[in-house]
Chains A and B, each alone.
Chain A
């Protein structure tokens, strides 16, 4: 998967967390989870969605350092 394809996948994964569908296209590597309305209690939902979509387990350490879409993309490297 190219980086662009990964970003498209991440956007789709984040769809349930975004209030405006129109804003999905605005999501880029620098978008923070906080800006999407994902507070610390809900980070786990993003992690579970990520694990399910990409079949890639996320460790506790990785989870605690998740702040932005770039961090999610990095997990796919």
Chain B
């Protein structure tokens, strides 16, 4: 029998928000974390705006000892801070001060591009100059995809599975499904799960070249992310990290940990680049199948709200159609729908984790954030206008579903339930 899995901690480094409390407030009040990015301007990007987290140096120095943060790069710093916040909220032991690792606790923390900045600025130039000695001992962990997970495991003394997944923009949600399954099947009691992504023009350049990123909007950077809109013009890139502490319900109860939400179910899948799916576009059938499997694994509960992938491209309307099909929902009974990326941009490998945290915040605090910049709904979505608020609603929701889709026609979805101690 599969065990119940709950969430006992969350940590976020999000565009415009350091920490979950600030992130929650921004969502509730519709405060955007998207700003003008001078680096993109100087590099002559088509897109000029980005979702940038606040500076993390001081917070990192407060959270970790010098030896724990030595040799970290941007993406590792984001991940370490988010993990520190999540672990602290969950009340996980400060294992760094203990001599033994916790064999029942692990981590699955993914990334899309990992330490690409390190490769560009350090590995490339120093290797080309034959100066390998100057790379130092931390160079490998700074670009290996499992570097952030491994560094966190060392700080927290995680002695169970320590790994990184990478499934493009589905990474964060996929990590949560993998970690939840690991616990549900009895391999671990506690798992940190999530995703991280650095702020890197080099990681974003290819998307800009494909004209998949948003053009500057006359109303300024906060108006450039326009998911679900008739005038959506591409996604706004972002960086950050989201980490959740997942735990068996039995472990949470035994430790007396406060439960924030329950993971009712989840699924991972692919369209196999068939039926319209390609390396760069999801197959509608693949998305529907993944969503249906997630609902089924959750016990087919009523879904009160959807936190969609919804990046601000032409794929938004197709995604909503897939949600409708998977839920077999008539327009008048379609759940509330939101696009968190309208406020923070698209943090790629971190996106799904940040959006899962957004769901946890909303279930716990009783609100459903609005989708920003939605002056004119996409014409194919007008029949769902009543389900798509443009500002926050104060509403106690029971269940929220969230999904992420990525290059390679890969998909992941989760269903979360508000915790009612039952």
Convert B54-66 into 0s and 1s, putting 1 for each residue whose CB lies closer than 8 angstroms to a CB of A.
0000000000011
A41 beta carbon closer than 8 Å to chain B? yes
The one of B65, B66, B67, B136 in contact with A48, judged by C-beta atoms closer than 8 angstroms, is: B136
A16 to B137, CA, bound (A): 13
Convert B221-243 into 0s and 1s, putting 1 for each residue whose CB lies closer than 8 angstroms to a CB of A.
00000000000000000000000
Interface residues of A in 4-53 (CB under 8 A from B): 15-19, 21, 37, 41-42, 44-45, 48
Interface residues of B in 22-61 (CB under 8 A from A): none
In the complex, which residues of chain B have a beta carbon less than 8 angstroms from the beta carbon of A17?
67, 70
A-B contact count (CB 8 A): 24
B71 beta carbon closer than 8 Å to chain A? yes
Interface residues of B in 97-133 (CB under 8 A from A): 133
A15 to B133, CA, bound (A): 21
In the complex, which residues of chain B have a beta carbon less than 8 angstroms from the beta carbon of A21?
65
Interface residues on A, range: 10 to 19
A18 to B67, CA, bound (A): 6
Are B70 and A44 in contact, CB atoms less than 8 angstroms apart? no
Count of chain B residues with a beta carbon within 8 Å of a chain A beta carbon? 10
Are A19 and B65 in contact, CB atoms less than 8 angstroms apart? yes
In the complex, which residues of chain A have a beta carbon less than 8 angstroms from the beta carbon of B136?
44-45, 48
A44 to B137, CA, bound (A): 7
Residue of B nearest to A43 (CB): B137
Closest Cβ of chain B to A33, distance in Å, is 13
The one of A15, A37, A42, A44 in contact with B66, judged by C-beta atoms closer than 8 angstroms, is: A15
B134 beta carbon closer than 8 Å to chain A? yes
Are B67 and A19 in contact, CB atoms less than 8 angstroms apart? yes
Are B66 and A16 in contact, CB atoms less than 8 angstroms apart? yes
The one of B67, B133, B134 in contact with A16, judged by C-beta atoms closer than 8 angstroms, is: B67
In the complex, which residues of chain A have a beta carbon less than 8 angstroms from the beta carbon of B67?
16-19, 37
A19 to B67, CA, bound (A): 6
The one of A15, A18, A45 in contact with B138, judged by C-beta atoms closer than 8 angstroms, is: A45
In the complex, which residues of chain A have a beta carbon less than 8 angstroms from the beta carbon of B138?
45
Cross-chain pairs A/B with CB under 8 angstroms, 20 sampled: A15-B66, A16-B66, A16-B67, A16-B70, A17-B67, A17-B70, A18-B66, A18-B67, A19-B65, A19-B67, A21-B65, A37-B67, A41-B137, A42-B137, A44-B136, A44-B137, A45-B71, A45-B136, A45-B138, A48-B134
Residue ranges of A at the interface with B (Cβ–Cβ < 8 Å): 15-19, 21, 37, 41-42, 44-45, 48
